[in-house]
């Protein structure tokens, strides 16, 4: 019991919704270990985020069937030659063939992922509260009230599309395809666990694979700068990894969610 008390004081990652961004893999969320995996005798039968037996945290991401559900993950299903060429073009560390194959498999994986992370790895890769993230507008978990009416507002880097501001996704895609390969997203801000009475949990997958975010929606017909905020939970694979997209030469196009004035 003394050991667990000391560990509890040392490690701060003890709430739901702690997000990490691991290079080449993308976003994962910390999940409680099962009590049966923690081989230390204790009267406390609750689960723990930190496993003193392995000295690690458990980070997970849900699986997705890209043949059944629309997802930006489809864009990441590049061939091996394209992936390795991108790695070399960016002058990243060149690994041996076996390691490169493993990285490629993780890069495009749509399967459920579970990996162990040390405290240092969590600390180095944690996504802090208040960070701006990007949600895949095509993901099946995102409520219609958020993606039902979207208008293009900006891109992530150089902006050759300023004349397209205000277009819906269909019109945007029709005009933007000739200028580049863009993934439509909406901005959100990361939060940690919020009570279900305030933020209903998304039923797309188990809550262990989700994080809490806030999305600013513009109120139509109420003046230029009037907004409201909607809080939801989203699965990790609904969050777009801009690092992975840029590796294969793709960018994001940011859309504004529009809601009717009440």
pLDDT tens string 4-33: 444 444 456 888 899 999 998 999 999 999
H, E, C per residue of the chain: CHHHHHHHHHCCCCCCCCEEEECCCEEEEEECECHHHCCCCCCCCCCECEECCCCEEEEEECCCCCCCCCCHHHHHCCCHHHHHHHHHHCCCCCCCHHHHHHHHHHHCCCCCEEEEECHHHHHHHECCCCCEEEEECCCCCCCHHHHCCEEEEEECCCCCCHHHCCCCHHHHHHHHCCCCCEEEEEEEEEECCCCCCCCCCCCCCCHHHEEEEEEEEEEECCCCCCEEEEEEEEEHHHECCHHHHHHCCCEEEEEEEEEECC
Mean pLDDT, the chain, integer: 85
Query: Structure pTM?
Result: 0.87
Tokens of 228: 């409201």
Find, among 29, 239, 261, the residue nearest to 134 by Cα: 239
Query: Are the CB atoms for 206 and 230 separated by under 8 Å?
Result: no
**Can you give the pLDDT of all 262 residues of the chain as single tens digits?**
444 444 444 456 888 899 999 998 999 999 999 888 887 655 555 568 888 888 899 999 999 999 888 899 998 998 888 888 888 776 666 667 888 888 899 999 999 999 999 999 999 999 999 999 999 999 999 999 999 999 988 766 555 666 777 888 888 877 776 556 788 999 999 998 889 988 999 999 999 999 999 999 999 876 667 889 999 999 999 999 999 998 888 889 899 999 987 6
Q: What is the pLDDT of residues 147-184, one digit of tens each?
A: 999 998 876 655 566 677 788 888 887 777 655 678 89
- Distance in angstroms (rounded) separating the CA atoms of residues 117 and 54: 10
Tokens of 189: 């801000």
Q: Residue 139 region, left (φ>0) first, then alpha (ψ -120 to 50), else beta?
A: beta
Residue boundaries of the structural domains of the chain: 2-260
- Distance in angstroms (rounded) separating the CA atoms of residues 120 and 13: 12
Question: So what's the pLDDT on residue 222?
Answer: 61
Q: Residue 96 region, left (φ>0) first, then alpha (ψ -120 to 50), else beta?
A: beta
């Amino acid at each position: 019991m003394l050991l667990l008390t000391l560990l509890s004081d040392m490690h701060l990652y003890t709430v739901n919704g702690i997000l990490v961004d691991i290079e080449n893999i993308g976003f994962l969320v910390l999940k409680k270990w099962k009590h049966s995996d923690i081989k230390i005798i204790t009267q406390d039968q609750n689960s723990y985020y930190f496993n003193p037996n392995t000295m690690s945290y458990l980070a997970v991401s849900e699986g997705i069937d890209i043949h059944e559900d629309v997802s930006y993950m489809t864009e990441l299903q590049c061939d091996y030659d394209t992936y390795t060429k991108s790695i070399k073009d960016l002058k990243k560390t060149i690994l041996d063939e076996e390691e490169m194959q493993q990285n490629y498999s993780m890069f495009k994986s749509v399967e459920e992922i579970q990996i162990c992370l040390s405290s240092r790895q969590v600390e180095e890769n944690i996504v802090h509260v208040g960070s701006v993230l990007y949600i895949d507008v095509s993901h099946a978990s995102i409520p219609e009230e958020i993606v039902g009416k979207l208008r293009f507002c900006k891109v992530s880097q150089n902006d050759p599309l300023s004349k397209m501001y205000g277009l819906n996704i269909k019109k945007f895609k029709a005009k933007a395809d000739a200028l580049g390969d863009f993934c439509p997203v909406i901005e959100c801000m990361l939060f940690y666990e919020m009570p279900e009475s305030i933020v209903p949990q998304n039923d797309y997958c188990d809550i262990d694979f989700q994080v809490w975010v806030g999305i600013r929606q513009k109120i139509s017909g109420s003046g230029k700068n009037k907004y409201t905020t909607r809080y939801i939970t989203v699965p990790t694979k609904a969050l777009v990894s801009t690092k992975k997209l840029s590796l294969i030469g793709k960018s994001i196009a940011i859309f504004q969610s529009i809601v009717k004035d009440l």
